[in-house]
Amino acid sequence: MRDLLERILGYLPAYLKNLPDLVQGPKRFVLERLSRKEHQQEDALVFLAISFLIGWILKASFIRQGFYIELAADSAFVLALVFAYGVALCLAWRIVKGRAEVQQFFVIHFYYSGVLLLIASCWFMTIVGTLRAFNANLYTRMLENIYQGNAATFFKANAESITAAPGLMPVILGGQLGVLTWIFVGWGAYRQLNHASKFRSGLAAMLFAFFWFPIAAFGFLLANAAVK
C-alpha cells in the first residue's frame, strides 16, 4: 500500500501534464503510450487511481461513514465496474474479429476510464449544486432517499420536478453530449489498434453499448443497496 501511495504521489506531476493532452487528443495520446515498451499497464492504472482519488475528494462532503471505510468500499466498487466494462469491451471487439492484445485494450480502457471518472464527478457536483441552488427542498429530499437506498423510486416519482428545476436540464444534457462526443473521438484508438474498418468498429461500438446497459443497471442496484 505504501509503495502504491508513493508511486501515485510521484506520478502526480506527470498526471497533471498528461491530463490535458489526453482530454484534448485521446486517440493520439493512448496510441503514443502503447508505442512504449515498458510500464504501459502500470502507468495507466496509476492514472486511473489518481483520477478516482481526485473525483472522490470532490464528492467527499457526501461521506456518511468513516473516511477509510468509505474510500475502500468506493474504490473496490469502481475498480470492479471498470474491469467489468473492460471485459465487455474486449468481448465486443473479439466478436467482430478484433485481434489486439487484451493488455492493450485495458491500457486504453484505464486511461479513458480515468478521464470519464473525473468528468462524472464534476458533472455530478454541478448537477447537485444546481439543484441545491434552485430547489433546496428537492435537493434535501433527494439526498435523504439516496442514503435510504430509495434512489430509483425517488427519481421516478419526482422526474417532473427535477427536470423543471431551472438550469438543471441544460447541465444534464450538456454533460451527456460532452461525454458521448469524447467517447466517440476516443473510440478511434480501438479501431486503429485492431486495424478495423469503420463498419466493424461501429458494430463493436453497438455491441459494447448493448453490454454496457446490464452492467450499469447492476452497478446502480448494487450501489443503491450498499447505502442502506
- Kindly indicate the confidence band of residue 227, based on its pLDDT and cuts at 50, 70 and 90: low
> Which DSSP letter does residue 99 get?
-
Predicted local distance difference test score (pLDDT) of residue 226: 58
Predicted local distance difference test score (pLDDT) of residue 68: 73
pLDDT in tens, 109-166: 999 999 999 998 888 888 888 888 888 888 888 888 777 777 777 878 877 877 777 7
Mean pLDDT score across all residues of the chain: 85
Q: Which residue has the cell 438543471?
A: 168
Mean pLDDT calculated for residue range 90-111: 93
Sort 165 into a burial class: Cβ within 10 Å, 0-12 / 13-18 / 19+. buried
Q: Which residues contact 198 (CB under 8 A, 6 or more apart)?
A: 191
Other C-beta atoms closer than 10 Å to the C-beta of 25 total: 14
- Kindly indicate the confidence band of residue 228, based on its pLDDT and cuts at 50, 70 and 90: low
Do residues 127 and 199 lie in contact, with contact meaning Cβ atoms separated by under 8 Å? Answer: no
- Kindly indicate the confidence band of residue 108, based on its pLDDT and cuts at 50, 70 and 90: very high
Predicted local distance difference test score (pLDDT) of residue 171: 85
> Which DSSP letter does residue 97 get?
T
Predicted local distance difference test score (pLDDT) of residue 83: 94
DSSP string over 57-72:
HHTGGG--S-HHHHHH
Predicted local distance difference test score (pLDDT) of residue 13: 87
Predicted local distance difference test score (pLDDT) of residue 224: 63
Residue 66 has pLDDT above 80, yes or no: no
- Kindly indicate the confidence band of residue 91, based on its pLDDT and cuts at 50, 70 and 90: very high
C-alpha cell read off for 21: 493532452
- 3-class DSSP state for residue 96? coil
Predicted local distance difference test score (pLDDT) of residue 82: 94
Please tell me the pTM assigned to this model: 0.87
C-alpha cell read off for 158: 419526482
Q: Which of 58, 40, 53 is nearest to 5 (CA)?
A: 53
For the chain, the C-alpha Rg in angstroms (whole number) is 19
Handedness of CA 85, 180, 110, 125 (dihedral sign): negative
Long-range pairs, 6-15, Cβ under 8 A, ≥24: 7/46, 8/46, 8/49, 8/50, 8/53, 11/43, 11/46, 11/47, 11/50, 12/50, 15/46, 15/47, 15/50
What is the residue range of 116's domain? 2-226
Number of domains in the chain: 1
